[in-house]
Amino acid sequence: MKRIIIPILCLLSVQILLAQENTASVNARWGVKAGWTEGYTYDEHTSPLFYQYDVMNIGGMYQRQGAFLLDVSLTLKIGTNRPKQLGHRTGTITETPDIYGHIESYEIKAYPFFSMVSGDLKVRALWQLSGGHQLGASLNARHIYTGMAIDDWHYTQLDIAPEYQFSYRLLRGDLTGSFSLPLLAGVVRPNYAFDPSLPDLTNYYRGYLRTSSSLVSLNKLFSPRFRAGYTWHFSSGESLGASYFAAWTSYPDPRPMRMFENGIEVTYFFK
Amino acid sequence: MKKIWFIGLLFILVSSCEKYIFGVEYSNNPEDNFEALWSEFDQMYGLFKVRNVDWDAVYDQYKPMVDDQTSDEELYHVLVDMLKILDDGHVILLPVGTDLPMYKGGPIGRIDTIQDFDLDLLKEHYLSEPQETDFAILYDWLEDGIGYVYFYNFADGEKSFDKEIKPVLDFFKDAKGLVIDIRGGEGGEDIAGKTVASHFTEEQRLYMTTSIKNGPGPDDFTSPEEWYISPRGDFQFTEPVVLLTNRLTISARETYALAMRTLPQVTIVGDTTAGAFSNLVLRELPNGWGYSMSIGDWRAADGTSYEGVGLPPDIVLQNRRGDVLSGKDEALDKAIELLR
């Protein structure tokens, strides 16, 4: 029995030493990603309609593995947003008649095909716990700009969240799942009457920043995020991954707004 | 396999049970469309008190006219009749996806033919070499020493309008008087009018206060913001100015007029303005129809509200259609006479 235990202990010791060696050395890499997101928005403050968006994601990533994992990810999303039940619509605007009684009219497209842009920046730091468990924190910035109720609509969220990740070694890759829940956030969203036009402001978004920015915590903003995926590591040092993600956001001011989005992403890390 | 079913189920739930998961309040039926419009005005419209409208009484009067059998056309007429009570130039109903016409409130909505102004005829009979800025202003000499400035719109911010007005004022630097014409055309941003008017004052002047609806209750308004004009640009034009207005002078054109009327060198000639000063928001109904409404209480510096009334000119002069068609603009002639 002793003959078996000692070699196992030796092997484990070597493994631990190697692991410590790996974590002590700094290993940085860059990556790119592409994917697709489908989302739903209901903003009682803006429209009685339920909106659906479909956007393409592209982005870049940076990972640095040292004493902890630093993970930076920037995602840009562009696509279409429209009321789910009604789709893309056009309306006819009529001008005031001229002196001859002629009335000019023109069509407006309420929701053109490209009607949504959005950006997400995520910076997270994760420390290794026992086994595949990792715990850390993330800083997330999110801005959405789209059309809703035949007008502009935007939502900005900057939050800090504890983040948990579990990794499981499977074949030549890692199966990973992560979860985060913002505890503190700054939110900018259209105020009650939507209109922040002020005598000393020349930019509506700056007006919104001044009149409708809020610092909120979990009791107001509930915005959990989940991601699961598999990353295949090539012997050449590159890696290829695919993941599914989902996020929910609910915010009550000035009237309830709820969003759900989910999608898939393919990631590629360079050597 | 179980996991796939679970994810599939989640997709179906999210995409088909929005009413329960997202709390979607209204469905697309005539009664909900009526309720959505009435209650949104109830919470966000900023002028019930100023316009002396009892919105609850309006509900009692019009709600019984709508039931689940009401057709689109019937619903449109009920909603239009209800909105007509507000008589507000900023209230529009756009029945998207139907052949029904767009409804416009206020005096402009009632016009079937403009009686008193046509820019093309004015250009033909009064201007010889009109010039235009990038997007907002047309200008020319009317006669020796008297300049003419027409605003197509006020549709941008401070920076743009500094850039728009500068070449115009440089051009008319030595003019003995200016006619500024804000009849007809589009509205825009109040900040644009404030910027332009600031090029005509040598001292800071309060000209307007604005309060915006900031809650669902009838008295939920922001505390009044004060709007001032103060000297702007390399020089300020302080020679006599005649400002021409008519019933089509609406919104940002009217707040520009509020700013200009505080200046001692300005005389307003023409007809009363449209009487729709407040900013507006765009909204939509569960059936997708769009609408707009005024969201605030805009007042002159002395606290007077001209909403629904319009800003009266110093000299009332209503052009006749026949005169305008034959090339005569009596209001403009009067302005020239005042500046000679």
Contact present, A16 and A131 (Cβ < 8 Å): no
pLDDT computed for residue B166 by the predictor: 97
- What is the arithmetic mean of pLDDT over B292-318? 97
Q: How many domains does chain B have?
A: 1
pLDDT, tens only, B205-258? 999 999 999 999 999 999 999 999 999 999 999 999 999 999 999 999 999 999
B75 falls within a domain: no
Domain membership flag for residue B134: yes
Higher pLDDT, A195 or B95: B95
Question: Chain A neighbours among B 54-93 (CB < 8 Å)?
Answer: none
Q: Are the beta carbons of A65 and A19 closer than 8 angstroms?
A: no
Residue in B11, B101, B230, B178 with CA at minimum distance from that of residue A40:
B11
Q: Which of B154, B258, B282, B297 to mutate to test the interface with A (most CBs of A within 10 A)?
A: B282
User: How high does pLDDT run on average in chain B?
Assistant: 94
What are the backbone dihedrals phi and psi of residue B281, each rounded to the nearest 5 degrees, phi first? -125, 155
- Looking at residue A107, its amino acid is E
Q: Which residues in chain B have their CB less than 8 angstroms from residue A192's CB? A: 44, 212-215, 220
pLDDT digits (tens, 9 = 90+) for A79-113: 999 998 887 778 888 888 888 888 888 887 777 77
CATH number at residue B231: 3.90.226.10
Query: Which class for B162: exposed (0-12), middle (13-18), buried (19 or more C-beta within 10 A)?
Result: middle
Collect all residues of chain A within an 8 Å Cβ-Cβ radius of residue B28: 85
**What residues are paired with A248 via a beta bridge?**
A260
Confidence of residue A205 (pLDDT cuts 50, 70, 90): confident
Range of the domain at B169: 119-277+295-339
Integer Rg of chain A from CA: 24
Region A129-143: mean pLDDT is 96
Residues A171-198: pLDDT tens digits? 999 999 999 999 999 999 888 877 888 8
Cβ–Cβ gap B24/A91 under 8 Å: no
Written as six digits, the tokens of A13 are 């010791």
Helix (H, G, I), strand (E, B) or coil at B28: coil
Is B107 a domain residue?
no
Q: Which residues on B lie below 8 Å from A99 (Cβ)?
A: 113-115, 117-118, 121, 321, 324-325
A142 contacts: CB under 8 Å, gap ≥ 6: A118, A119, A120, A121, A155, A156, A157, A158
Q: Do B282 and A150 touch (CB under 8 A)?
A: yes
Does residue B185 carry a pLDDT above 80? no
Q: So what's the pLDDT on residue B12?
A: 60
Q: Which of A194, A248, A257 to mutate to test the interface with B (most CBs of B within 10 A)?
A: A194
C-alpha–C-alpha distance, residues A221 and A121, integer Å: 18
Return the residue of A nearest to B319 by Cα: A99
Instruction: For CA atoms B207, B152, B159, A108, give the dihedral sign.
Output: positive
| Domain at A26-269, CATH homologous superfamily | OPCA outer membrane adhesin/invasin (2.40.128.100)
Domain range annotation of chain A: 26-269
Q: Find chain B residues with C-beta within 8 A of A243's C-beta.
A: none
Q: What is the pLDDT of residues B2-25, one digit of tens each?
A: 555 655 665 565 556 777 889 888
Of B46, B114, B283, which is closest to A47 when you measure between CB atoms?
Answer: B283
In order, the DSSP letters of A103-163 are --EEEEESS-SS-EEEEEEEEEEEEE-STTEEEEEEEEEEEEEEEETTEEEEEEEEEEEEE
In a 13 Å sphere around the CA of B67, the CA atoms on its Cβ side amount to: 3
User: What CA–CA distance (Å, rounded) separates B143 from B70?
Assistant: 60
* Chain B residues lying within 8 Å of A47, measured CB to CB: 283-284
pLDDT > 90: what percent of chain A?
65
What is the model's pLDDT at position A12? 35
Q: Does A16 have pLDDT greater than 70?
A: no
Average pLDDT over residues B285-309: 96
Given a contact cutoff of 8 angstroms between Cβ atoms, the answer to whether B232 and B196 are in contact is: no
Phi, psi of A216 (to 5 degrees): -130, 160
Asked if residue B273 belongs to a domain, the reply is yes
Rounded alpha-carbon distances, angstroms, from residue A24 to A12, A29, A65, A72, B71: 18, 16, 9, 20, 73
Burial B248-261 (b: 16+ CB within 10 A, else e): bbbbbbbbbbbbbb
Chain B residues in contact with A42 by the CB 8 A cut-off are 18, 22-24
Task: Report pLDDT digits (tens) over B139-163.
Answer: 999 999 999 999 999 998 899 999 9
Residue B327, domain member (yes or no): yes
Token digits of residue B147: 């300049």
Q: Which residues make Cβ contacts (< 8 Å) with residue B37, sequence separation at least 6?
A: B79, B82, B285, B291
With the C-alpha atoms ordered B194, B199, B205, B207, is the resulting torsion angle positive or negative?
negative
- Is the distance from CB of A110 to CB of A133 less than 8 angstroms? no
**How far apart (Å, rounded) are the C-alpha atoms in residues A148 and A49?**
9
Say whether B113 and A97 touch across the interface (CB within 8 A): yes
pLDDT for residue B270: 97
Query: Across the interface, which of A193, A202, A244 has its CB nearest the CB of B214?
Result: A193
d(CA A123, CA A71): 6
Mean pLDDT computed over B304-309: 96
In tens, the pLDDT along B27-54 reads 999 999 999 999 999 999 999 999 999 9
Partner residues linked to B28 by β-bridges = none
B9, B32, B113, B328: best to mutate for the A interface, most A CBs within 10 A: B113
Q: State the pLDDT at residue B340.
A: 94
